[in-house]
Amino acid sequence: MINSKLRPGDRLSPKSILIWRIAQISVWLLGVVIVFSLIFYPTLGIHLFWNILIPIAPLLLVVATGLWRNICPMASTALFPRHMGLSKRKKITVEGMGKLNLISVLALFVLVPLRHAIFDLNGPATAVLILSLALIAVVMGLRYEWKSAWCSGLCPVHPVEKLYGLNNKLKLPNAHCGSCHRCVTPCPDKTPGINPLTTKKTMSNKIAGFLMVGAFPGFVWGWFQVPDYDGITTLEQLITIYKSPMLGLLVTGILFLILKKFIKEKSLITIFSAAAVSCYYWFRIPALFGFGSSPGDGTLIDLTRVVPEWSIMALVVALTLFFFWWIVLSKQRKISWVIRPAYATEGMNFGKYSYGKNKG
């Protein structure tokens, strides 16, 4: 599955395709189990989704974005119609893509604070959210070509992929697009070092890129300053869950604009990326093990009587150093998240799984 000799346009062997399909189906079934648990065993479902899967995701996006792009259950759901030949395979305009990218960033900023009031404590509500997103993903997949509309457009996780997956070092094949139809330009999957500000073709692109790079670290910090509420009953609570994330967003957004005058944009993006993911784990790891500032919120297992607090802090500091090394300091390998399949016009076969040979 991982092959350092992979070149753009290389053919995937039937065995490789089979292995990827097994991996995709397995992760998809795991997703089904999580949704089932969220509805019928909410405590288990919340642990599986919010306290295991989601905390692993940022680290995975940093070290292996392409792996996630290949096995994400929501992507498999969105691309199922395309694999089955049921998609209308329309192309989205540059303006349309810009708008989808902006909506996805705004959706992230609206939905994530709601975790404190609804989703973190309510399994069925989280299941409804996931199923609603899955429905939108399928509708997008039925209408648009390959990953353009959902995986590289409207998915609220995609902006985070672009922020965290800056320094990809893994060579993986594209396990979804049978051949490349140039459905999105630039394609995040096949563009080495893509970041949220790579595309500045439209105003929507520019706003989405700025919000994701400059504002996101502050948003993450602000999110962790709010405790969980059991449902929103007053307007005041609603304001509370948004106040700190919005304040943080404003502070780092302004900081980004100021620093841009002194530091090269590319370097600044890597620093803000490392800061955002480090900030997430700085708060999330202690909370997972019972050392959080709001006792009980987001706790997977209480280790307060088992390990000393300094050991958790040591883990957090080590992770922070790792992220700054990986994203900011280590050599940019210029490897895209996944290797481009053959262009459709160059392959012999335009069918569902046409992996034609291409020299470039």
Residues near ligand SF4 (CB under 6 A) are 146-148, 174, 177, 180-184, 187, 189-190, 340
Provide, rounded to whole angstroms, the least separation between the CB of residue 340 and ligand SF4: 6
HSE-CB for 158 with a 13 A CA cutoff: 29
Q: Which is nearer to ligand SF4, 184 or 249 (CB)?
A: 184
Q: Which is nearer to ligand SF4, 85 or 310 (CB)?
A: 85
Q: Which is nearer to ligand SF4, 237 or 354 (CB)?
A: 354
Tell me the one-letter amino acid at 101.
N
Provide, rounded to whole angstroms, the least separation between the CB of residue 271 and ligand SF4: 28
Provide, rounded to whole angstroms, the least separation between the CB of residue 8 and ligand SF4: 10
Q: Which is nearer to ligand SF4, 187 or 277 (CB)?
A: 187
Provide, rounded to whole angstroms, the least separation between the CB of residue 236 and ligand SF4: 44
Q: Give 199: exposed, middle or buried? Use CB within 10 Å, 0-12, 13-18, 19+.
A: buried
Provide, rounded to whole angstroms, the least separation between the CB of residue 111 and ligand SF4: 24
Q: How far apart are CA 211 and CA 217, in angstroms?
A: 10
180 - beta bridge partners?
343
Q: Which is nearer to ligand SF4, 120 or 189 (CB)?
A: 189
Which are the contacts of 219, defined by CB distance < 8 A and separation ≥ 6? Answer: 109, 112, 245, 246, 248, 249, 252
Judged by phi (left if over 0) then psi (alpha if -120 to 50, else beta), residue 82 lies in alpha
One DSSP character per residue, 89-123 reads -BPPPHHHHHHHHHHHHHHHHHHHHHIIIIITT-H
Provide, rounded to whole angstroms, the least separation between the CB of residue 155 and ligand SF4: 12
- Number of helices and strands in the chain (H, E): 12, 0
Q: Which is nearer to ligand SF4, 117 or 180 (CB)?
A: 180
